[in-house]
Structure 1
């Protein structure tokens, strides 16, 4: 097995929209990219090519073809993030092709925005399995690869800052997405405690809506339930291009690990404070439009005065070992 001379980035949830854009732009940055998701196809038969990046015609197979056709390096690997065996197989195949892993980006997600009353149990379970459980499984499976890389690596999670308004009208969805952000905070603390200063896990969330399959589906749902006849162009004026997300992730990967480990960041704000970006007009889907910001300008500080006082630390693995003696 030969270790790739390039840094290896695994993007889970890269068949369409934001994930596809991140994979393409990381490949342009010189990464060997693993494009992972459930959807596959015979990319050689897709016409016209490339397909609409937010349609079902866009799969990990077509994204791999797009990247390779542009002269960059990519490998498509199918994965079902609800199945830990499938996740482990994805990691094994990544190592088989490239010899290791440097960057993990978790973009897979299931979405359903409705009240608790209108969210069936099966829909709730799907979101938890794909969102928080899928992330946990992918991170667990990636840790041995980071260990082999002398604990040098990055994890980027598509999950939100934690604040009360996020729960409104989409509580079942928020349970999993906020859980993903809790994993970001908790794993960051593990690494800090263990002295793994070259590892960082960071969450990223859009400050404004971004064009993707998810936003198009939500918009169709809104129009179906609304008596208004808003045009598609007016909806588009509230969207940004997915390049803002990939630019923010690339900026994260360039930032020292100790400066971003455990952070819950917004794409626009991170680009402004780290890259000095002040003009965001280039990201507007409709030229000249000013997409509405969805997130508060200021978010709560989750730290408290006794942040570093853990009291008596409990480790269940020690207790379990002791009970077997």
Structure 2
């Protein structure tokens, strides 16, 4: 089924932020493929729609929710730890809609603790879901962006790079910062090749966002809700990033609030508060370090392993 609508693939779309991004992309004229591991029989879901942060919310219920609101959506299951599953997802997306314009990678595995208290199995799971899953799907979508004449956008849920982020969650940070390194590196690739209509951008919350990840904390401490924002701030920021010129956002590691403030003219963020009248605590710094060095443009002799020959995997 060929569509003239822009097509967005949202990976990690079953609950919370991913669900909200999918719903709001559909409201704004995108055909949306909602992808994650969890599928269900949406026709029998009660209540409907389910709590968006509960296990009852799946890609199937998100698809139904979008369609019943008049939008265009298709649910496709994927296991981002499996490269073949990722490739099938992208192939099915293009088979259904004829093309692909936007990738949003929201899948994530979380474990926040010290290195001592993070078992290797838990560490490896986070690497497979976070940087490895992202890398696999970027590899799968790039040929389709090439067929589009190198027009497209990639949005990655990963943070600006700064040292405090590593504290108390080193294993998690290793993967998430790795995702931000991919954003920076692929952006340079686009620039080198003159692909001025392509952009990859990372986004992260300035204030904690209500999601499945905050559910236990809220249940244990209802007062914590005063420090939460609604996921609509994230989807609004992503939509603003997609509307911005590619050159403005390519390689950008930014926060939802910062982007809306500086690029969309938003000054009042109170509508995003979970608790009306609250002043949520910021979880991110006001300023971030500049990662560039004085020798930024001095590459020396550029090396490309694909042109050197040698052993192949």
TM range (shorter): over 0.9
Cα separation, 2, equivalents of 1:305 and 1:3: 48
- 1:162 aligns with 161
- 1:298 aligns with 287
Tell me the SS of whatever aligns to 1:34.
strand
Tell me the SS of whatever aligns to 1:237.
helix
1:112-149 superposed Cα distances (whole Å, 9 cap, x missing partner) = 00000000010000000000000000100001110111
Aligned counterparts, 1:142-221, within 5 A: 142-217=141-216
Aligned counterparts, 1:239-258, within 5 A: 239-258=228-247
- 1:275 aligns with 264
Deviation of the 1:209 alpha carbon: 0.1
Deviation of the 1:260 alpha carbon: 0.8
- 2:301 aligns with 312
1:53-104 superposed Cα distances (whole Å, 9 cap, x missing partner) = 0000000000000000001000000000000000000011001100110000
- 2:251 aligns with 262
Cα separation, 2, equivalents of 1:237 and 1:218: 12
Q: Aligned in 2, Cα 1:219/1:163: closer, same or farther, shift over 3 Å?
A: farther
1:265-315 superposed Cα distances (whole Å, 9 cap, x missing partner) = 000000000011000000000111111000000000001111111111111
Cα separation, 2, equivalents of 1:284 and 1:67: 24
Deviation of the 1:219 alpha carbon: 5.4
Cα separation, 1, equivalents of 2:31 and 2:292: 37
> How many residues are matched?
312
Cα separation, 2, equivalents of 1:45 and 1:99: 30
Q: Aligned in 2, Cα 1:85/1:218: closer, same or farther, shift over 3 Å?
A: farther
Tell me the SS of whatever aligns to 1:104.
strand
- 2:4 aligns with 5
Deviation of the 1:320 alpha carbon: 1.4
Tell me the SS of whatever aligns to 2:227.
coil
Aligned counterparts, 1:40-119, within 5 A: 40-119=39-118
- 1:286 aligns with 275
Deviation of the 1:3 alpha carbon: 3.2
Tell me the SS of whatever aligns to 2:32.
strand
Calculate the TM-score normalised by the size of structure 1: 0.94
Deviation of the 1:214 alpha carbon: 1.1
Report the RMSD for the aligned CA atoms in angstroms: 1.2
CA contact (8 A) 2:218 2:225 kept: no
Cα separation, 2, equivalents of 1:289 and 1:43: 35
Cα separation, 1, equivalents of 2:172 and 2:215: 17
Tell me the SS of whatever aligns to 1:162.
coil
Cα separation, 1, equivalents of 2:218 and 2:295: 44
* Unpaired stretches in structure 2, ≥5 consecutive residues: none
- 1:226 aligns with none
Deviation of the 1:218 alpha carbon: 5.3
Calculate the TM-score normalised by the size of structure 2: 0.98
- 1:16 aligns with 15
1:14-41 superposed Cα distances (whole Å, 9 cap, x missing partner) = 0000000000000000000000000000
